[in-house]
Amino acid sequence: MSVTLDLSRARPSAPAAEPKINLAGLGREPLRQTLIESGLVAPEKARMRAGQLWRWIHHFGATSFEPMSDIAKETRATLEEKFVVARPEVALRQVSTDGTRKWLIRFAPGIEAETVFIPDVAQSRGQGALCISSQVGCTLNCSFCHTGTQALVRNLTAAEIVAQIQVARDDLGEWPSPREDRKLSNIVFMGMGEPLYNLDGVAEAMDILSDNEGIGISRRRITVSTSGVVPEIKALGERTQAMLAISLHATNDALRDELVPINKRYPIAELMAAVKAYPGLSNAKRVTFEYVMLKGVNDSPADAKALVKLISGVPAKINLIPFNPWPGTAFECSDRKTIETFAAIVNRAGYAAPVRKPRGRDILAACGQLKSESEKLRASARRKAEAS
Ligand code: SAH
Ligand code: SF4
């Protein structure tokens, strides 16, 4: 009997190389700490080095160490041993006939979310808004929302939230961060997920995005939209000074319970009390009430009058959103005439009520149409996917 020795099995396997740390989405302090902990940067030099890296990453949009000309070549080579400055993969990029762009971003195997750029939201000033996601999927299931049909996979990290802006800026060719005449001038947390269920990630991301030596988008130009997570509204204002948007959609509890089920936990009276107490709320810093126009559901003149009554005395504007259909929904969008009548009633009461022009519907990029294929995998299946 002959015996064959399998030498490949006998050889001890080489130790797996440590994955390199991505510096691209770290806040200032974590960046400094990471440099120190790596042993590559002396503690007394860490602040200066972190400052240099920060500008390259967030002002110039660097995706490697190579262009960092004010850091010595040898130092750059040393940094490369343990770090990268990298973007997540863009799994799909679509451009609508109206110029709206949508990216499906793969943060890790099975962890995908969508980001949408809407150019020229304010025509006269040529500004554009980036609609970003805070979670993959959503725990809530508002009955008219496509994202709500996708179970929550997980919260996005601050780095992953920041990466959405970086990916958009790469695609728009908008580096270094311009100080004025920006294409990407506003950010809205109106993509996938409920931002107030990920307040830590959102707050940390906002610190990075609003930093003046980097992306530099002022907190006044960042709007966080919530379905009404009442206990977190005050903390949002205190921690981020973000502009607040509330997905109202109905003016009585019976209907709102159906449309926005979180209303069963935090009914309209509690929501309105939290809005009125929002830190910094004033005529110069108004809350936006979003109101989706659903045919025969919430779009009558009586509904408009009830809305005006409900928000009376609150510094507010109303955003009327024509319902955007998605595969399988039973809702329909209100007629144009009905929306105009509704808007006129709200306007007459002294509230600005712009009707949001649907953008990017042809690529399912409009409000409430976002969804990814990501599903929550069992930990074992995810490890397998990551290893392959
Ligand atoms: N989860 C947060 C933010 C994301 S949703 C929230 O609910 O506020 C962004 C906005 O789109 C919300 O006002 C939401 O109610 C609205 N929306 C959801 N589905 C929609 C649809 N199919 N058509 C129009 N607007 C929709
Ligand atoms: Fe979630 Fe907002 Fe959609 Fe409701 S509207 S399911 S909170 S993403």
CA 309 remoteness from chain centre? 31
Mean pLDDT across 81-110: 95
Round to whole Å and give the CA distance between 79 and 61. 17
3-state DSSP of 221-289: HEEEEECCCHHHHHHHHHHHCCEEEEECCCCCHHHHHHHCHHHHCCCHHHHHHHHHCCCCCECCECEEE
Reduced to 3 states, what is the DSSP secondary structure of residue 373? coil
Q: Which long-range contacts (C-beta less than 8 Å, at least 24 apart) are formed by 44-53? A: 49/75, 51/213, 53/23, 53/85
What are 112's strand-pairing partners?
Answer: 106
Q: Give the position of tokens 């921690």.
A: 239
213 or 377, which is more confident = 213
Ligand 1 centre from 370 Cα, in Å?
10
Ligand 1 centre from 244 Cα, in Å?
14
Q: Is the peptide bond before 119 cis (omega within 30 degrees of 0)?
A: no
Q: What amino acid is encoded at 11 in this protein? A: R
Q: Give the position of tokens 């519907």.
A: 361
Round to whole Å and give the CA distance between 213 and 370. 32
Reduced to 3 states, what is the DSSP secondary structure of residue 108? strand
% of the chain surpassing 90 pLDDT: 78
Round to whole Å and give the CA distance between 77 and 211. 27
Mean pLDDT across 41-56: 96
Active-site residue, from 114, 160, 194, 290? 114
User: What pLDDT is recorded for position 22?
Assistant: 97
User: What pLDDT is recorded for position 371?
Assistant: 76
Mean pLDDT across 116-133: 82
Per-residue pLDDT tens over the stretch 301-316? 999 999 999 999 999 9
What is the band of 148 on the pLDDT scale with cuts at 50, 70, 90? confident
Q: Given a cut of 80, is residue 275 above it in pLDDT? A: yes
User: What pLDDT is recorded for position 373?
Assistant: 73
- Residue 71: exposure state from Cβ atoms within 10 A (0-12, 13-18, ≥19): middle
Reduced DSSP (H G I as helix, E B as strand, rest coil) percent helix, strand, coil of the chain, to 5: 40, 20, 45
Phi, psi of 290 (to 5 degrees): -90, 140
User: What pLDDT is recorded for position 151?
Assistant: 86
Round to whole Å and give the CA distance between 64 and 300. 55
Round to whole Å and give the CA distance between 294 and 338. 10
**367 catalytically annotated:** yes
Ligand 2 centre from 79 Cα, in Å?
41
User: What pLDDT is recorded for position 381?
Assistant: 58
Per-residue pLDDT tens over the stretch 154-183? 999 999 999 999 999 999 999 999 988 899
Q: What is the mean pLDDT of the chain?
A: 91
User: 262-281: buried (b, 16+ CB within 10 Å) or exposed (e) per residue?
Assistant: bbeebbbeebbebbeebeeb
User: What pLDDT is recorded for position 210?
Assistant: 98
Round to whole Å and give the CA distance between 12 and 260. 57
Reduced to 3 states, what is the DSSP secondary structure of residue 166? helix
**114 catalytically annotated:** yes
Please, are residues 262 and 229 in contact by the beta-carbon 8 Å criterion? yes
User: What pLDDT is recorded for position 123?
Assistant: 54
Ligand 2 centre from 152 Cα, in Å?
11
Does residue 135's CB lie within 6 angstroms of at least one atom of ligand 2? Answer: no
Q: Given a cut of 50, is residue 104 above it in pLDDT? A: yes
Q: Which ligand is nearest to the CA of 226?
A: 1
Per-residue pLDDT tens over the stretch 336-383? 999 999 999 999 999 998 888 878 888 887 777 777 777 765 555 555
User: What pLDDT is recorded for position 7?
Assistant: 41
What is the band of 3 on the pLDDT scale with cuts at 50, 70, 90? very low
First to last CA, the chain: 37
What are 285's strand-pairing partners?
Answer: 282
Q: Given a cut of 80, is residue 126 above it in pLDDT? A: no
Does residue 144's CB lie within 6 angstroms of at least one atom of ligand 1? Answer: yes
With the most atoms of ligand 1 within 8 angstroms of its CB, the residue from 292, 339, 357, 361 to mutate is: 292
Does residue 83's CB lie within 6 angstroms of at least one atom of ligand 1? Answer: no
